[in-house]
Amino acid sequence: MAVSVAHAAGTGEDQNDGTGDILGALDGDALNELLAALDGRALGLFGGSDFMSVLSRMANGDLSFDPVTILDFVADVIGTSITGLLSLLVTVIAVAIIYSIIGALKGGRVSEGVTKAVHFACIAAVIVVVGGATMDMFASCSETLGVMSAQIDTVFPIMLTLMAAAGASSTSSVFRPTLAVLTSGLFGLITAVLMPMLIAAFVFGIVGNISEEVKLGKTADFFHGSVKWLFGTGFFLLTAFMSVQGITASVFDGIAVRSARFTIGKFVPVIGGYLSEGFNLVMSGSVIVKNALGYTSLILLAATVLPVILQTGIYSLCLKLAAAATEPLGDKLMSDMLAGASKTVSMAGAVMTGAAFLYFVFILMVISTGNIFL
C-alpha cells in the first residue's frame, strides 16, 4: 500500500511538472496581446491582466469565479448603456413633441409650407442623432468581430497542436480547415457582407420614411431577409460539418491511441511499462493545458462579446421605446423609421450572438473531442 501511495504521489508530481513545462513552452506574449482590446471592467471579469497567470491557475484548478463579479459586470454594462442612450431617447421624444405642436397649429396660424419645413427639420434631427448612434454601434460590432477573429487565430492553433500531442491527430487535422472556414469564411462573411447589408437596410429604412412619396420599405426587408438567409445557411453548414467530422475523426484517434499504448506496454522489453506511463503523462499534460486554455478562452470570449451584445439589445429596446412614444404624437413616418432602425440593430445583435455561439461551440468541441484517452 505504501508503495502504491508513493507511486501515485510521484505520478502526480510528474504530471504537475509536465503541465508546467507545457505551459512554459507557450507563447505568452501572443496570448497577452489578446487582452489589449479589453477595458478595465472586462479585465476584471477575465480575472487579471496576465493571460498566462489566469491560464496557469485554470490548469492547476485554482481559478474560481464569484457570481457577484459577473452580475456587477453585467449591471455596469447595462447601466452605462442606458445612461448613454437617455440623451438620444429624450432628444427624439422632444423633437416629436415639437412636431406634434406645430402640426396641431396647421391650418391656423401656421401655413402648410412651414409645417412641411418643420417636419423635414425634425426628421433630419432624428436622422442625425439615431444615424450617428447606429453607425457607432455597427463600428463597435465590426471591431468586436475583428477581436474575436484575432483570438481564434491565436488560441485555436495552440489548442489543435496540444490536441495532436495528446494523440488526437486525426481530429486536429479535421478541425484545422474548420478553423480556416470559421475565421476567414464566416467571420469574413459577417464583416465584409452582412454588416454592410445591415447598414444598407438601415439607410433604406431611413430614406423610405422621410416622405410618404418615397417607398423603400421592401428594399430594406430584402436586405434583412438576405442577412437571415446567408447567416443561417452558413451557421448550419459549419455546425453540421464540425459535429460530423469531429465525431468521426475522434473514433480513429481513440483506436490509434489504444493501439499505441498496448504496443508500447506489451512489446517493448523491460522498459515498456515505463514508456507507456510516460506516454500517458505527456498526453495527460497536453489535455490539461488544452482544456485549461479552452476554458480560459471562453472567459475571454464572454469578456469581449458580452458588452456589445448587451449594448445592441439595450439600444434596440431604446429605439422601440422611442417608436412607441412618437406614434401617439402623430408622426407615423418617424415612428416607422425608429421601428425599422430597431429591427436592423436587433439583427446585428443576433448576428453577433450567433458568431459568439459558433466560437463557443468550436471551443467546447475541441475540449471534448480531444479527451479520447481519459
3-state SS of the chain is CHHHHHHHHHHHHHHHHHHHHHHHHCCHHHHHHHHHHCCHHHHHHHCCCCHHHHHHHHHCCCCCCCHHHHHHHHHHHHHHHHHHHHHHHHHHHHHHHHHHHHHHCECCCECHHHHHHHHHHHHHHHHHHHHHHHHHHHHHHHHHHHHHHHHHHHHHHHHHHHHHHCCCHHHHHHHHHHHHHHHHHHHHHHHHHHHHHHHHHHHHHHHCCCCCCCCCHHHHHHHHHHHHHHHHHHHHHHHHHHHHHHHHHHHHHHHHHHHHHHHHHHHCCCCHHHHHHHHHHHHHHHHHHHHHHHHHHHHHHHHHHHHHHHHHHHHHHHHHHHHHHHHHHCCHHHHHHHHHHHHHHHHHHHHHHHHHHHHHHHHHHHHHHCCCCC
Q: Rounded to whole angstroms, what are the CA distances from 100 to 39, 323, 335? A: 43, 14, 13
Q: Distance (Å, rounded) from C-alpha 73 to C-alpha 69?
A: 6
Nearest CA among 121, 144, 74 for reference residue 356: 144
Geometric angle at alpha carbon 323, from 321 and 325, rounded to 5°: 70
| pLDDT tens per residue across all 374 residues of the chain | 333 333 334 444 545 555 777 777 777 788 888 888 787 778 777 777 788 888 888 878 776 667 777 888 888 888 888 888 888 888 888 888 887 777 666 655 656 677 777 778 888 888 888 888 999 999 999 999 988 888 888 888 888 888 777 666 666 666 767 666 666 678 888 888 999 999 999 999 888 888 777 777 788 889 999 999 988 888 887 777 766 655 555 544 554 445 545 454 454 454 444 444 444 555 666 777 888 888 888 888 988 999 999 999 999 999 999 888 888 876 788 888 889 999 999 999 999 998 898 888 888 877 876 665 55
Dihedral through CA 10, CA 13, CA 15, CA 19, nearest 10?
-160
φ, ψ (nearest 5 deg) of residue 110: -115, 130
Q: Distance (Å, rounded) from C-alpha 7 to C-alpha 165?
A: 25
pTM of the predicted model over 0.85:
no
Q: Distance (Å, rounded) from C-alpha 324 to C-alpha 321?
A: 5
Nine-digit cell string for 364: 467546447
